[in-house]
C-alpha cells in the first residue's frame, strides 16, 4: 500500500515537473521513449543461463580482487540453476579457498580470504566486448540492506585520467542501493550513472537519479542501456528513464559485468554506502541476485 501511495505522489509531482522527484531525492517513474526493440535492433549475443554451470565461453571469474569493499568476491557464490544465473550473498565462518593464488599471486597482490560476507561477480573481460548497441538483463534483485546488485560495463581505459570519458567509462546500467527504503515505499528503485577518469582525485561521474521498477525484489524486471556515439540512454522494462553524455561518450568497446557488493571496507560490513543502510542479514541468512538472461543487440 505504501509503495502505491509513494508512486501516486511521485506521478503527481512529475505532472507538475518531470525533474521534481529527483530534486526532492525521490525515485521517479519511467516515462520517456519506448525502446522499440524489434524495430531498431538485432540480437548478436545472448546468455539464457541454461544448464547447470556458468558458460565459460561467455563469462569469467577472472577478476582482480578477492576482497571487495565490505565483503569478498568468490566464484563458489555463483551458480546456474532453473534457467537462471544466481549470485548468492552469505556469511562464511570459514574462509573459502583462493583458486587463483597460484595463477595470479605473483602478478596481483590478492588479499587473504577471511571470515565474512561472501558474494560474487562475473565478467566478460577478454571474452566479449562491444561498442554501441543495446544491452539488457532481466533480473530479480537481492533482498537485503547493506548490499547491492549491479549490471554494468567497463573497459581498461576507464582508469586513464585525461578529462574525458571518450576513451572509457564505467556505465552502471543499474545498481540496487535502496532496499532499506522498502518500509516507506521507495525501496523499489534503482539508480543508474557513469564514472570516468579513474577512481582517485581525478574521478568524475554523473547520474540520472533513482527510478522505480515493478516490485523488483520479488518480480523480474528488465534493465537496459542504449549506447551510441552521442549518449547513453537508460531503460527499465523498455521505457526510458534518463540520458547522459557527461564527459563525452565512450568510443571504445566495453565488457559487461553482473555483481553483488557488500557495503563496508577492508572486508568488513559496517557501513551505509550510497544509501544502502547497514547489513541487515545475520549469519545463516542469504540473499540472491537472480538473472534470467543477458542479451546484446546491434543497431539495424
Q: What is the pLDDT of residue 283?
A: 95
Q: What is the pLDDT of residue 107?
A: 64
Question: What does the block give as the cell for 162?
Answer: 585525461
SS3 call for 37: helix
Q: What is the pLDDT of residue 8?
A: 61
Asked if 258 and 170 count as a contact pair (C-beta separation under 8 A), the reply is no
Q: What is the pLDDT of residue 229?
A: 97
Domains of the chain: 30-299 (2.60.120.200)
State pTM to two decimals.
0.93
Asked if 121 and 100 count as a contact pair (C-beta separation under 8 A), the reply is no
Q: What is the pLDDT of residue 100?
A: 79
3-state DSSP helix/strand/coil percent for the chain, to nearest 5? 15, 40, 45
Whole-angstrom distance, CA of residue 146 vs CA of residue 253:
32
Ramachandran angles phi, psi of 61, nearest 5°: -95, 5
Asked if 219 and 236 count as a contact pair (C-beta separation under 8 A), the reply is no
Whole-angstrom distance, CA of residue 93 vs CA of residue 3:
37
Averaged pLDDT in 10-residue chunks for the chain of 300 residues: 64 61 72 96 98 96 83 96 98 92 70 94 96 98 97 95 96 96 83 96 95 96 98 98 97 98 93 87 97 98
Amino acid at each position: 500500500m505504501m509503495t502505491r501511495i509513494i508512486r501516486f505522489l511521485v506521478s503527481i509531482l512529475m505532472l507538475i515537473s518531470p525533474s521534481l522527484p529527483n530534486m526532492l531525492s525521490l525515485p521517479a517513474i519511467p516515462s520517456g521513449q519506448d525502446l522499440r526493440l524489434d524495430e531498431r535492433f538485432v540480437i548478436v549475443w545472448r546468455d539464457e543461463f541454461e544448464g547447470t554451470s556458468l558458460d565459460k565461453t561467455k563469462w569469467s571469474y577472472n577478476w582482480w580482487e578477492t576482497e571487495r569493499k565490505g565483503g569478498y568476491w568468490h566464484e563458489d557464490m555463483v551458480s546456474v540453476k532453473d534457467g537462471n544465473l544466481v549470485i548468492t550473498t552469505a556469511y562464511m565462518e570459514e574462509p573459502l579457498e583462493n583458486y587463483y593464488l597460484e595463477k595470479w599471486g605473483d602478478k596481483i597482490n590478492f588479499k587473504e580470504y577471511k571470515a565474512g560476507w561472501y558474494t560474487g561477480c562475473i565478467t566478460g573481460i577478454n571474452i566479449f566486448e562491444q561498442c554501441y548497441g543495446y544491452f539488457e538483463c532481466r533480473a530479480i534483485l537481492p533482498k537485503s540492506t547493506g548490499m547491492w546488485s549491479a549490471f554494468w560495463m567497463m573497459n581498461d581505459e576507464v582508469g586513464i585520467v585525461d578529462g574525458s570519458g571518450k576513451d572509457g567509462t564505467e556505465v552502471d546500467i543499474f545498481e540496487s542501493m535502496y532496499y532499506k527504503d522498502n518500509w516507506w515505499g521507495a525501496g523499489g528503485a534503482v539508480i543508474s550513472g557513469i564514472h570516468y577518469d579513474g577512481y582517485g582525485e581525478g574521478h568524475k561521474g554523473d547520474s540520472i537519479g533513482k527510478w522505480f521498477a515493478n516490485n523488483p525484489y520479488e518480480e523480474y524486471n528488465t534493465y537496459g542501456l542504449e549506447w551510441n556515439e552521442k549518449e547513453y540512454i537508460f531503460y527499465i522494462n523498455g521505457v526510458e528513464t534518463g540520458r547522459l553524455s557527461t564527459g563525452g561518450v565512450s568510443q571504445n568497446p566495453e565488457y559487461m559485468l553482473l555483481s553483488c557488493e557488500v557495503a563496508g571496507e577492508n572486508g568488513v560490513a559496517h557501513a551505509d554506502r550510497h544509501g544502502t543502510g547497514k547489513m541487515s542479514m545475520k549469519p545463516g541468512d542469504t540473499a540472491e541476485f537472480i538473472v534470467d538472461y543477458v542479451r546484446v543487440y546491434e543497431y539495424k
